[in-house]
Amino acid sequence: MTVTMQESAVTQDKSLADAQALTQVTRYKVYTQRQFDKIEPLKRLSPEQRFEIEVVANVLPFRVNEYVIQELINWDNVPNDPVFQLTFPQRGMIAPEDYDRMADLIKRGADRKEITQLASEIHGYLNPHPAGQQEMNVPVFEGEPLGGMQHKYRETVLFFPSQGQVCHSYCTFCFRWAQFVGNTELRFASHEAEKLHGYLKNEPEVTDLLFTGGDPMVMRTRHWENYLEPFLTPELDHVQTIRIGTKSLTFWPQRYVTDEDADDLLRLLEKLVKHGKHIALMAHFNHWQEMQTPIVREAIRRLRDAGVVIRAQAPLINHINNDPDVWVRMWREQVQLGIIPYYMFVERDTGAKRYFELPLARTHEVYQKAIQQVSGLARTARGPSMSAGPGKVEIQGITEIQGEKVFVLRFIQGRNPDWVQRPFFAKYDPEATWLNDLKPAFGEDKFFFEDEYAQMAGDGKIIY
């Protein structure tokens, strides 16, 4: 796609009227737990079902928009519809005793302060920042910690722009749910672009910058210009790849098609591509149903025409995609649309994990059965992978060695790069759902990385 600032191939796309015809919804309208009574399709549910949603939405963040409601959810299949499960709270997402306590408050008409106080108490049980995010990942620049950044792996820095710490809709399984519950002590965010650029100029080993959140694609293009234009300068040539973690292709593909600054955004991304940067949109698709609307396919086409590479990742989660056939269809359609399947993650040990988590043995079974059914172009999807404190740990297989049944594991990424690609073994445990549930195999008392990782943690505490 050839671009100048005066004339862009994006202007050769369909007219705005044609683009709007791709979707019923072009005006962004959002609902939170305070607007339940305004969500018309919810009236199909029983009073008991609506009350359960309300109770859980007072504990876990809830936000959904009109596009999701009208065009993605099959209301004839509720409550089993995967996008409904993805966006609307369910009773099983919090412990029964916590549900009962919150339900009692709501039934007796407790004030907002009392409800918020109980919600904050429950949040403390839900491991709001897993894998040492606050304790071990925050970098220091000019003697001060950079609270809106994380630098866990040598080559990659994560940045949380303050304008992007919300999403077009919220995922019920989100491992960063603590960003959205109103407690600033639980939140990562930064609006200091100069410190970001200054830090990166002094870190020549960093090749990749990941904008994350929340969802940075809620930002207007003028904010993106402030963050991205400096990467056209020689001082930041070593930052080769700019990744953007986003769920917008599911929750608001209009961002790339009908939003008033959609063309400006595509021109900006294309300008960086022409300068030699690799722009990677790290899309989150949890189910093939999210990729069926004409507007999302148009958004994908426009991004690819601008030179953006789209990679797709998702956790394997109960109630949404616990089925090899779902992954087979999703990966095949992604390849057909020009999207690169990237990761299958294990549901993290935070938030509503009790509702969504699966045994590690099941995650491997689903991955193996799915990957066996797709061509090599879809086998770029790695996993199942646990984004744990020491690094990204992949379950490579389940086998028997010298009479002992074991999980075969390896680091895809690690806090120490020397750990990467080193296989190690854990005793087979059919109930284990996370790394901290696993024990070393063959009589070993610890995994090979544990002593060094404990030293990294400072106080010797292992944070998984």
Distance from chain centroid for Cα 444: 35
Evaluate whether 75 touches 64 at the Cβ level (below 8 Å): no
For the entire predicted model, the pTM comes to 0.91
Residue 431 CA: distances (Å) to CA of 130, 134, 392, 401, 428: 20, 28, 20, 20, 9
What Rg do the C-alpha atoms of the chain give, in angstroms?
Answer: 22
User: 426 to each of 82, 178, 408, 435, 462, how far by Cα in Å?
Assistant: 33, 31, 7, 9, 17
Task: Establish if 177 belongs to a structural domain.
Answer: no
- Please say whether the beta carbons of 122 and 98 come within 8 A: yes
d(CA 265, CA 225): 9
Asked if residue 61 is part of any domain, the answer here is: yes
Note whether residue 408 is domain-resident: no
Six token digits for residue 117? 């106080």
d(CA 21, CA 440): 57
Spell out the long-range contacts of 365-371 with Cβ–Cβ below 8 A and sequence spacing 24 or more.
Answer: 365/324, 366/316, 366/322, 366/323, 366/324, 366/327, 367/316, 367/327, 367/395, 369/324, 370/324, 370/325, 370/327, 370/328, 370/331
Single out the residue of 83, 81, 82, 103 nearest to residue 91, CA to CA: 103
Per-residue pLDDT in tens (0 to 9) along the chain, 464 residues:
444 434 444 444 544 556 667 777 788 999 998 888 899 999 999 999 999 999 999 999 899 999 999 999 999 999 999 999 999 999 999 999 999 999 999 999 999 999 999 999 988 888 776 655 555 788 888 888 887 889 999 999 999 998 888 999 999 988 775 666 655 554 445 678 888 999 999 999 999 999 998 899 999 999 999 999 999 999 999 999 999 999 999 999 999 999 999 999 999 999 999 999 999 999 999 999 999 999 999 999 999 999 999 999 999 999 999 999 999 999 999 999 999 999 999 998 888 899 999 999 999 999 999 999 999 999 999 999 999 999 999 999 999 999 999 999 999 999 999 999 999 999 999 999 999 999 999 999 999 999 999 998 876 566 77
Give pLDDT, residue 5.
Answer: 39
Contacts of 230 (CB under 8 A, 6+ apart): 193, 197, 236
In a domain, 69, yes or no: yes
The sign of the dihedral angle between the CA atoms of 263, 268, 273, 275 is positive
Asked whether residue 109 is assigned to any structural domain, the reply reads yes
Cis amide linkage into residue 79, ω under 30° from 0? yes
pLDDT at 461: 64
Query: Mind spelling out the 3-state secondary structure of the chain?
Result: CCECCCCEHHHHCCCHHHHHCCCCCCCCCEECHHHHHHCHHHHHCCHHHHHHHHHHHCCCCCCEEHHHHHHHCCHHHCCCCHHHHHHCCCHHHCCHHHHHHHHHHHHCCCCHHHHHHHHHHHHCCCCCCCCCHHHHCCCEECCEECCCEEEEECCEEEECEHHHCCCCCCCCCCCCHHHHCCCHHHCCCECCHHHHHHHHHCCCCCCEEEECCCCHHHCCHHHHHHHHHHHHCHHHCCCCEEEEEECHHHHCHHHHCCCCCHHHHHHHHHHHHHCCCEEEEEEECCCHHHHCCHHHHHHHHHHHHCCCEEEEEEEECCCCCCCHHHHHHHHHHHHHCCCEEEEEEECCCCCCHHHHCCCHHHHHHHHHHHHCCCCHHHCCCEEEEEECCCEEEEEEEEEEECCEEEEEEEEEEECCHHHECCEEEEECCCCCCCHHHCCECCCCCCCCCHHHHHHHHCCCCCCC
In a domain, 79, yes or no: yes
Q: Please report whether residue 434 resides in a domain.
A: no
344 in a structural domain:
no
What's the pLDDT at 135? Answer: 59
Per the structure, the complete domain to which residue 72 belongs is given by 27-123
In this prediction, residue 1 carries a pLDDT of: 46
If one counts the domains in the chain, the total is: 1
b or e along 87-119 (b: 16 or more beta carbons within 10 Å of the residue's beta carbon)?
A: bbbbbbbbeeebbebbbebeeeeeeeeeeeebb
